[in-house]
Structure 1
Amino acid sequence: MSKLVSISMAAEALGVSTSTLRRWEASGRLTPTRTEGGQRRYDVTALHSGPRYSAPSFRKTVSYARVSSHDHRADLERQKQVLELYCASQGWTSDIITDLGSGMNYRKRGLKRLLDGIVEGEVGRLVLTHKDRLLRFGAELVFAACQVKQVEVVILNLGEDTTFEEELASDVLEIITVFSARLYGSRSHRNQKLIDGMRTAVRDSQCT
């Protein structure tokens, strides 16, 4: 005999919030039964069926693609095509989230949307072309969150990204810009000269 539990107990069992369960109900992903008083009740057996790290039918497969600047839009389209073809070959229906911005930027709109989906339990599988498409540094923290939320992570290419040097140089320039803004208030000619020299060195390295 199936055991029916409240929405709060079901949310705890799935590792999501009660608001997420309400959204799933509204979208038809997970429909509870109702008591005579209109209270939601969830079948415990149905909630726990299936392998631990599988992406349940009510959780999405999300592909994430990113490039650092408008100059790399062609590479963004290539990433999207690779992700779409791979997911199709696996029989997965995938939502694609894209970002345009540095791998050092943790406030990108697409990344925030992805993290919100993981935290809310809406994402069951994350697909990337390379690990550093997610973040240049700190991707392991996102993967740790995926493990806690039982999100399967699929990385198509575990080797080095072909644009690693170019993007790393771009990230270094961004760091220099941030420090330049902080040091500008001191009006130090020596500081400005040092920063300009670092910018020149990074740009020269991109041309070699």
Structure 2
Amino acid sequence: MSKYNKQRLYRTAEAAVLLGVHKDTLRRWEKEGKVRAVWMGRERRFPEEEIRRLLGESNPDAAVLYARVSGHDQKADLQRQVEALTDAYGSKFSEVVVLTDVGSGLSTNRRGLRKAMQMARERKIRAVAVTYPDRLTRFGFEYLEEYFNSFGVEVLVLNREEDRSPQQELVEDLLTIVTSFAGKLYGHRSHKVKKLKAEVKGALERLDTDNERKAAE
């Protein structure tokens, strides 16, 4: 299997824009052997490795191991994620950086995730590894994956099947949504937002208690 099968392949127009040259120039370089292309039917594709080589860029052999849980009472699960990622990928890179977050996977204000994105932009890493797709984000995983790929960073997922997250995770997600929309209506520092968030959390807790009672009957 070709090593290019696992990396992004750019169309001629896309590669030309990244390199800042005309499409005809890129085609000429390919004929002259200055850049290698992969032919797919009648169209050529340019591997990201070749693009980076021409740009004089090379991501170091380093990876981010990213773990996330929704609440502070789930620190044990956070540690299990880190251990699983270390066992799976720790020996595959010359350097690994562990980044963790405690918070909803819907939140855009996660320090660990933002750090991983910054390291990708600065081309300090070659991969980001997670145990499940929703540890990186609850929705829009493909968009984040595309973001990392655009900087030559591969997203490694230990388990592709959906993580069966605890109910607390779903509660935190709902509260994040409520807080976001309420903040747009009333302002993020408004007492109405805090009151609404407390009411929603209380209602969810009562629903959880009712469900447990019914299950026990």
> Larger relative CO (CA 8 A, sep 6+): 1 or 2?
1
Within the candidate set 122, 146, 168, 2:148 is matched to 146
Kindly provide the CA deviation profile for residues 98-149 of structure 1, in whole angstroms up to 9, marking residues without a partner as x. 1111112111111111110111111211111011111112332211112211
Within the candidate set 85, 88, 112, 1:86 is matched to 88
Report SS of the residue matched to 1:81: helix
Q: Note if contact 1:67-1:100 (Cα within 8 Å) is conserved in structure 2.
A: yes
Structure with greater helix share of residues: 2
Q: Which residue of 2 aligns with 1:111?
A: 113
Aligned length: 157
Report SS of the residue matched to 2:106: coil
Percentage of pairs with the same residue: 34
Q: Which residue of 1 aligns with 2:78?
A: 76
> 1:179–1:148: structure 2 CA closer, same or farther, 3 Å change rule?
closer
For 1:196 and 1:69, how far apart are their aligned partners in 2? Answer: 16
Q: CA RMSD in A?
A: 3.5
Structure 1 segments unaligned to the other structure (5+ residues): 1-14, 16-43, 186-190
Kindly provide the CA deviation profile for residues 40-62 of structure 1, in whole angstroms up to 9, marking residues without a partner as x. xxxx99xxxx9839xx6724211
Structure 2 segments unaligned to the other structure (5+ residues): 1-17, 19-33, 36-46, 51-57, 188-192, 212-217
- The code of the aligned residue for 1:109 comes to R
Given the alignment of the two structures, is residue 52 of structure 1 paired with residue 73 of structure 2, yes or no? Answer: no
Q: Note if contact 1:130-1:155 (Cα within 8 Å) is conserved in structure 2.
A: yes
Given the alignment of the two structures, is residue 155 of structure 1 paired with residue 152 of structure 2, yes or no? Answer: no
Within the candidate set 161, 167, 170, 2:169 is matched to 167
The within-5 A match list for 1:1-208 is 52=49, 58-88=60-90, 90=92, 93-163=95-165, 165-180=167-182, 198-207=200-209, 208=211
> 1:168–1:51: structure 2 CA closer, same or farther, 3 Å change rule?
same
